[in-house]
Structure 1
Amino acid sequence: MSLRNDAFKLGALAVAISMALTGCGSDSDNDGNPDPQPRMERLTRIATLPLGSEATGLFMKEDGEVFTNIQHPSDANVTVDGEGHVYKHATVGLIEGADIHEHFESISVPETDEEKQIMRVAVGRYNVLGQQGQSWAGTPGTGLGAIEVNDGTALIRVSNDPDFNGWVQVSEDEGYLFTNWEDRPGGMSRLHLIRTAEGRWVVHGNDASMVDFSAVHGTWVNCFGTVSPWNTPLTSEELYFDETASWNAPGEGGVQDLADYLAGKANSDYTAAYPNPYNYGYIVEITDPTGTPTPVKHFTLGRYSHENAVVMPDQKTVYMSDDGGGVIMFKFVADNAGDLSSGTLYAAKVTSDAIPMDAAQAGFDLEWVELAHGGNDQIKDWVADYDDITAADYVEGENSYISDQQINDWAESKLNQDLDGSGDVAANPFGDNRVAFLESRKAAVKLGATGEFNKMEGININPALAKASVEGEGPQAYVYVAMSDISGAMLDEEGAIQLTNDDARCGGVFRMPLEADYNVSRLDMVELGGPYDPTDEANTCSVNGLSGPDNVAVMNDGRVLIGEDTNKHENNMVWLLDPES
């Protein structure tokens, strides 16, 4: 392996010299003229994915190898790649055999049908670790991505939506890979991996399994995630259920699948097993990851469409992104380092640099609005108050759960203000702060936070850079956050956020400079997607710029890995952004 790495570094040095003369990562037009897109001077295209698929699960190992998945690829992908793989099934994989920190040239945009149907990488090789439905001795009979009822007696589906990858390293050549399966109910697989003498990662001893979530009533749409500083995977429940009032409406298919999960094949009493909505929409920590993986739901971090949560090196401060329309950025500060079971939840209130403002120059000051302090056990008791509600209780136009009026009255009592113009300040209808943790979005907006963000995706740091920066021993470090489609309330003519520029429909990546005590008070655009061209059906956003940035990971040198989730590129891509270029 050392000979391979030395050779690679010599080649990278030549590329680096060339880039210094011609512009880092710059493509050229077919006629030999320089690419007119200045954004390609900051972006290097690492990979192009098969048709129909998203790039998910970006996670960089210490040696510079990168996990990245192929989510829901098209059935039209029939081309066999050089290693015998066909990409019409969801795939969990790794860019291996090279250090992503080294400089390299962008891979080209796929042109032929064959190129469009396979996974192509600019450096190293793509190693398929497993595909949807693949079985090993430890997995259910239906294989990788299988979502079974909680007693294991029946299959609900085999998911084709792998997302977050979390790597828990045991040694240089061994570790456990945790992969989310973004479905209803959600799932997570664990693959025990070892590196062979040839440098290939393989599943060790058929040690592959799906994590058992039955003890926490299952999970819902396990999306992106991170690994905590104490080496436990944090999987995110992406709730995508803005109005809890409709949870128990007849015909809610995803909720019925969850009821099937809870009931199990042996129990036909689905009414008794009807899911409580307040059990879903949280960050779930996987404790004992190298032994018996044990999930712990952290109600303390709030209930909404969690895309991702990243814990700062102080092991107390957590920043969280919220996916959907009209959403909020959240912060949590734990009472004790390394323990997310109790602490204080906050939401961001933004002040724009200008109204209106060009999205390419977007900048906001941030103020953190305190929602409430709470602990898991206390909040779990509040959740249990809604255990006995079923579809039989649903009445059109009414609410079986926490109502908007109750949320308003809780906020009025907290602020001592008349918020609804009734002429009176209402009393807290509960005598507690359950609203902050069970209806976090609505609670935050009522207290003055800004609920106007759209499609807020991955949020991440580089821990070593962050720690050095805050301790004054390194350059400024940032928390990066992607927004895959800057539209909706971000582009309207109302509220605190009023952006312009059609390129915003291609999304963009923002960053927040870390301050003392790991606080942030500023959010700035660092790379807008596009250009946007609605007349180009295949690539509505330029192939030389971002479209639908989703997963992000920050490298040791401050550059940023970005995976796309877009229908505005014919083939989704993985990029490397140099924000200081």
Structure 2
Amino acid sequence: MSDHSSRSAPPSVSRRDVLKFFASAPLLPLGASSALLTACGGITTKSPSAEYLATSFTAMAASTLADAAAMATTAVGATLNVHYGDNSTQAYKLAYQPFFITGEQVPDGKGGTVLSGGYFDIHSHPIIDRSVAGKERQFFSDAPDGTSLLALSNPAVAGIKGKAVFAVVQFEYLTRDQLGAATDKKNAYGTLPSPIAVLTLDQDQQTGKLNLIKYHNVDTASAHGLWITCGASLSPWNTHLSSEEYEPDAQFIADNALFKKYSKNLFGDERKANPYHYGHLPEVTVNPDGSGTIKKHYCMGRISHELIQVMPDNRTVLMGDDYINGGFFMFVADREKDLSAGTLYVAKVGAGFCVDPYALGATLSWIKLGHATSAEIEHLADTLKPADIMHCVKTDPLDASYTKIFADGIANWAKLKPGMEKAAAFLETHRYANLVDASMGFTKMEGTTVNIKDKIAYSALQNIQHSMVRNDPAWRASTGITINKAIVAGGVFAHNLTGDQKDTTGVAIKSEWVPVKTRALLIGEDIPPDALGNLANPDRIANPDNLKFSEKMRTLFIGEDSSMHVNNFLWAYNVDTKKLSRIMSMPAGAEATGLHAVDEINGWTYIMSNFQHAGDWSGKLHSKVKDQLDPLIKANYNDRFGAAVGYLTAEPAQFSLSKK
């Protein structure tokens, strides 16, 4: 099937309605090599009456040391092709436009500046890096992650010349402090409370370019601060749905030195932070003045939240679990557009699970874990200690009243206290899901997104290994998740969605968007080290993380968090033509983050994309490139302390698909 055959919008959709595609503007280097951002050739003007038909991408080549400069920055060599009903095609060369590199001073909207990605304590005071005497400075993140782009009907921000657009950006962690950088030691991960910011952007109505005019740091005190915010999504009601990844293990919190440092940085006291306040789902509402408010939902399971997806019913939420021995979770809210109360479920995988994209796949059934309100679970978090809920040990107690389970790949023996089912379901979700015989065998199920037209959801499995592999120490046959050999490069799975489903006790699930079958869609390929050092086939996805689906483009966008590609890539997969196209390369050692496909804001289309921890060198993967690329990356990104927040755009400047 040719690229032209993809149908991404009905015939009634006009060129003006669908695309002015990808905001274009003269591009600034901002830490990137300006030589990479060269204008493409001329664009042929097509009949203004032609109907939009489809999009395709002409892929860029994989990384090569012949262009080391490109490997050390955000390289975009792809072309977006827009196809019309009159058999014409219009092509746009893509490029990357950062809003800022973290650690830069950016406008605060009040005539001053603020440090982008800067860290603050519970009282909104800057947290200072004092690791090197005489070089004290505010900590700032090298790991921007989940990003949502949105518009409001009543913006009220001064200084807007075009139209106000807002972006919410969260910062997952800091890799190393200044002393750690000097020794190349990763010593800061998880020790600082994650910042989250609202960006006010001035959208040029002639070009679609987004200019940053205000950076607002959201006060997270009402949510007890934030812990390792990773992927994010935009809710159907226009709020930013954040995440708290790798929930601190409350049962063994006394042994968690990292969490004690986090508590010290946030509260000034290493004993004050309550582990049960973290591992939940924060939601940010953007206000018309460009500020933001936050609330945390405690009733959606305390798991390794990554990138959730709300279904079109405004109630059903699908959630991956970035965890070894993880589950596939679903939450059905009591009311539309309100995640403060609802029912939590976890999947049970039936026969047929495999990694063959041509297989039918495995059935899914759903175990009800419980119903609760957010306020109810927050109260339990405030008043209960881990020992009140269950007793858990890491050595066999030789007591039949305990159940052997695996938590993040580690054997545990757990015993639930009487009457503590609800507390366990929402505060010890991983362990409780094991106790009720859920399929807790997935490894690092990360981003989740939805194809509404086809009623298919997609989930990224960063790795397919450990608890998924037969006879691995963490594998259990009872999960139904069984493969014979690990695929470290991971893959993307597709889930068929439908209604009229019942849980495993026979009670109706009040949703028309329930996953009932899961199957492999795209699978990576592990390889011996190639000439560049890649450990996975560079022409296939490896370690997928962020996922976002564009309804109009009929395209699944995939961002990598790979320890197997020398450069991580951003991919576009057309679900109709089955064509996979590489469209962007991150700096070597950097993870692709912040993915958000935006079909239309004021007539313009964007793909948001960030990266984190450039030059995070990994053993044999980077042994062939490190010496050449390390000085380039340090020069581009503030000695590796900086990372980009931005979006994919197009060249040349000032173009539109609407009739002139």
TM-score (norm 1): 0.72
Contact 2:223–2:296 at 8 Å: present in 1 too? yes
Q: Which residue, 460, 485, 494 being the options, matches 2:463?
A: 485
Instruction: Give the superposition deviation at 1:149.
Output: 1.1
Aligned-residue Cα RMSD (Å) equals 3.2
Amino acid of the residue matched to residue 106 of structure 2? W
Q: Which residue, 192, 195, 201 being the options, matches 1:193?
A: 201
**2:329 equivalent to 1:346:** no
Question: How many Å separate the matches in 2 of 1:199 and 1:432?
Answer: 56
Amino acid of the residue matched to residue 576 of structure 1? A
Q: 1:164 — aligned with what?
A: 146
Instruction: Give the superposition deviation at 1:167.
Output: 1.1
Question: How many Å separate the matches in 1 of 2:117 and 2:53?
Answer: 28
Q: 2:236 — aligned with what?
A: 229
**2:495 equivalent to 1:512:** yes
Alignment deviations for residues 97-121 of structure 1 (CA, whole Å, 9 cap, x no partner): x999632310112322112112122
Question: How many Å separate the matches in 2 of 1:537 and 1:116?
Answer: 11
Q: How many residues align?
A: 456
Alignment deviations for residues 290-335 of structure 1 (CA, whole Å, 9 cap, x no partner): 4441111111101011012211111111100110211011001111
Contact 1:168–1:289 at 8 Å: present in 2 too? no
Question: How many Å separate the matches in 2 of 1:536 and 1:351?
Answer: 41
Instruction: Give the superposition deviation at 1:279.
Output: 0.3
Q: 1:109 — aligned with what?
A: 62
Q: Which residue, 255, 261, 286 being the options, matches 1:256?
A: 261
Q: Tell me, what secondary structure is at the counterpart of 1:514?
A: strand
- Superposed counterparts of 1:92-171, under 5 Å: 102-111=55-64, 112-121=67-76, 122=78, 123-138=93-108, 143-156=115-128, 157-170=139-152
Q: Tell me, what secondary structure is at the counterpart of 1:352?
A: coil
* 1:64/1:498 CA distance change after superposition, 3 Å: farther
Alignment deviations for residues 342-364 of structure 1 (CA, whole Å, 9 cap, x no partner): 1110001111316xx45555622
Question: How many Å separate the matches in 1 of 2:20 and 2:197?
Answer: 23
Amino acid of the residue matched to residue 165 of structure 1? T
Q: 2:81 — aligned with what?
A: none
Structure 2 runs not aligned, ≥5 long: 7-17, 34-42, 44-51, 79-92, 129-138, 154-161, 174-189, 394-399, 405-414, 500-511, 579-660
**2:555 equivalent to 1:559:** yes
Q: Which has the higher contact order (CA 8 A, sep 6+)?
A: 2
Q: Tell me, what secondary structure is at the counterpart of 2:313?
A: coil
- Superposed counterparts of 1:299-310, under 5 Å: 299-310=298-309
Q: Which residue, 272, 276, 279 being the options, matches 1:278?
A: 276
Q: Tell me, what secondary structure is at the counterpart of 1:527?
A: strand
Q: Tell me, what secondary structure is at the counterpart of 1:445?
A: helix
Question: How many Å separate the matches in 2 of 1:376 and 1:196?
Answer: 40
Q: 1:394 — aligned with what?
A: none
Instruction: Give the superposition deviation at 1:477.
Output: 2.5
* 1:358/1:539 CA distance change after superposition, 3 Å: same
Question: How many Å separate the matches in 2 of 1:100 and 1:401?
Answer: 59
Instruction: Give the superposition deviation at 1:498.
Output: 1.5
Q: 1:313 — aligned with what?
A: 312
Question: How many Å separate the matches in 2 of 1:524 and 1:170?
Answer: 38
Q: 1:409 — aligned with what?
A: none
Contact 2:457–2:496 at 8 Å: present in 1 too? yes
Q: Tell me, what secondary structure is at the counterpart of 2:343?
A: strand
Q: Tell me, what secondary structure is at the counterpart of 1:433?
A: helix
Q: 2:40 — aligned with what?
A: none
Q: 1:83 — aligned with what?
A: 28
Amino acid of the residue matched to residue 341 of structure 1? S
- Superposed counterparts of 1:402-481, under 5 Å: 402-404=389-391, 420=403, 429-430=418-419, 433-462=422-451, 466=452, 469=453, 476-481=454-459
Amino acid of the residue matched to residue 108 of structure 1? A
* 1:427/1:191 CA distance change after superposition, 3 Å: closer
Q: 1:29 — aligned with what?
A: none
Question: How many Å separate the matches in 1 of 2:106 and 2:4?
Answer: 48
Instruction: Give the superposition deviation at 1:284.
Output: 0.7
* 1:101/1:302 CA distance change after superposition, 3 Å: farther
**2:229 equivalent to 1:246:** no
Q: 1:380 — aligned with what?
A: 378
Q: Tell me, what secondary structure is at the counterpart of 2:467?
A: helix
- Superposed counterparts of 1:541-560, under 5 Å: 541-556=536-551, 557-560=553-556
Contact 2:121–2:266 at 8 Å: present in 1 too? yes
* 1:197/1:366 CA distance change after superposition, 3 Å: closer
Quote the sequence identity (%): 25
Instruction: Give the superposition deviation at 1:84.
Output: 2.7
Question: How many Å separate the matches in 1 of 2:459 and 2:199?
Answer: 28
Alignment deviations for residues 401-443 of structure 1 (CA, whole Å, 9 cap, x no partner): 643459xxxxxxxxxx97759xxxx995345611100011111
Q: Tell me, what secondary structure is at the counterpart of 1:86?
A: coil
Q: Tell me, what secondary structure is at the counterpart of 2:104?
A: coil
Alignment deviations for residues 528-559 of structure 1 (CA, whole Å, 9 cap, x no partner): 11253356662111111001111111112432
Instruction: Give the superposition deviation at 1:142.
Output: 5.8
Alignment deviations for residues 465-519 of structure 1 (CA, whole Å, 9 cap, x no partner): x2xx4xxxxxx331111111111111233422221355x2111111111212111
Structure 1 segments, 4+ long, off by >4 Å, are: 61-64, 98-101, 139-142, 357-362, 417-421, 534-537
TM-score (norm 2): 0.64
Q: Which residue, 217, 226, 229 being the options, matches 1:219?
A: 226
Q: Tell me, what secondary structure is at the counterpart of 1:382?
A: helix
Amino acid of the residue matched to residue 215 of structure 2? A
Q: Which residue, 525, 533, 548 being the options, matches 1:530?
A: 525
**2:167 equivalent to 1:177:** yes
Contact 2:390–2:417 at 8 Å: present in 1 too? no
Q: Which residue, 476, 498, 502 being the options, matches 2:482?
A: 498
Question: How many Å separate the matches in 1 of 2:358 and 2:250?
Answer: 36
Instruction: Give the superposition deviation at 1:196.
Output: 2.5
Question: How many Å separate the matches in 2 of 1:301 and 1:441?
Answer: 12
Q: 2:626 — aligned with what?
A: none
* 1:427/1:501 CA distance change after superposition, 3 Å: closer
Question: How many Å separate the matches in 1 of 2:126 and 2:286?
Answer: 27
* Bigger Cα displacement from structure 2, 173-182 vs 490-499: 490-499
Q: Which residue, 348, 369, 372 being the options, matches 1:371?
A: 369
* 1:100/1:456 CA distance change after superposition, 3 Å: farther
- Superposed counterparts of 1:387-402, under 5 Å: 402=389
* 1:427/1:138 CA distance change after superposition, 3 Å: closer
* Bigger Cα displacement from structure 2, 173-182 vs 326-335: 173-182
- Superposed counterparts of 1:62-81, under 5 Å: 65=22
Q: Tell me, what secondary structure is at the counterpart of 1:215?
A: helix
Question: How many Å separate the matches in 2 of 1:306 and 1:194?
Answer: 32
Select the structure that is richer in helix.
1
Alignment deviations for residues 89-141 of structure 1 (CA, whole Å, 9 cap, x no partner): xxxxxxxxx99963231011232211211212213221111110122232896
Instruction: Give the superposition deviation at 1:214.
Output: 1.1
